[in-house]
Amino acid sequence: MSAPLVVLDGVTRSFPLPADRRSTTGTTSVDVLAGVDLVVREGDYTAVLGRSGAGKSTLLSIIGLLDRPTGGRHLFGGLDVTRAPDGLRVAERAERIGFVFQAFHLVAGLTVLENVALAGLYSGRSRSERLADAARALETVGLSHRRDALPPTLSGGERQRAAVARAVASNPRLLLADEPTGNLDRENADGVMRLFADLNGAGQTILVITHDDAVASLARRRIRLEHGRIREEDRDESASEGGVSGAAAR
């Protein structure tokens, strides 16, 4: 069995309630995550399902070192990052984690290659090294032929492939995707999820946040969040074969 990359042990995350929403019982906060236990191992391809408000994005923010838990413990790569200094958390996030979001977040005035090279901007690598990393990432996602194009000239599927290339250009240990097909039609969503399956087949650890059962069905492991708690979990080692449309039809 592969080694744990992410360990959440009894993780909670609470947010203060506005004064006008505090109950007569004196409740001043709401628990978005309520005692989450989760292990993501090297090489896993995990989908986290749940309705809006279930806590999915909060979970991703904590795993991605964008936020801290209110309670419990968070380990990343064997390092306890729960109360680690901000500088260490920023460095771990920049060097070890790649992000793909529903919005593509590409800079319109930069070429695709230059956009992808932004991933290593704070890595200490030279511009030529970052451009070389970006070129390899574009080849990985099948977008080398568009390296000199500007983002506004790309299709939606191409823009998301460019975003994926940027996320993997620095060779992260973990790829986190938050509703990566939310702005795509089914055909382009199918292509992006096949790309994720290919990346996972090459050894990339992936965690996808989604509300789409068809997208989640392609992951090898599926977790459902309800009211900040993990309610169910299943694993299917053959799940990443095929595409979104085919998975939905099964």
Instruction: Give the pLDDT confidence of 179-236 residue by residue, as tens digits.
Output: 998 888 888 888 888 999 999 999 999 999 998 888 888 899 999 998 888 987 777 7
Cβ–Cβ under 8 Å, residues 197 and 218: yes
What does the pLDDT look like over 161-170, one tens digit per residue?
999 999 999 9
The pLDDT of residue 185: 85
CATH numeric code, 4-21+30-249: 3.40.50.300
- Asked if pLDDT for residue 248 goes beyond 50, the answer is no
Q: pTM here? A: 0.88
H-helix segments, the chain: 56-63, 86-96, 112-117, 127-140, 156-168, 186-201, 213-216, 244-249
Cα 248 from Cα 222, distance rounded (Å): 15
What does the pLDDT look like over 60-117, one tens digit per residue?
999 999 999 999 999 999 999 999 999 999 999 988 999 999 888 999 999 999 999 9
* Helix, strand or coil, per DSSP, at residue 57: helix
The pLDDT of residue 235: 76
Cβ–Cβ under 8 Å, residues 101 and 163: yes
The domain segmentation of the chain, as residue ranges, is 4-21+30-249
What does the pLDDT look like over 13-39, one tens digit per residue?
999 887 776 666 667 888 899 999 999
pLDDT bracket for residue 250 (50, 70, 90):
very low
Cα 75 from Cα 219, distance rounded (Å): 23
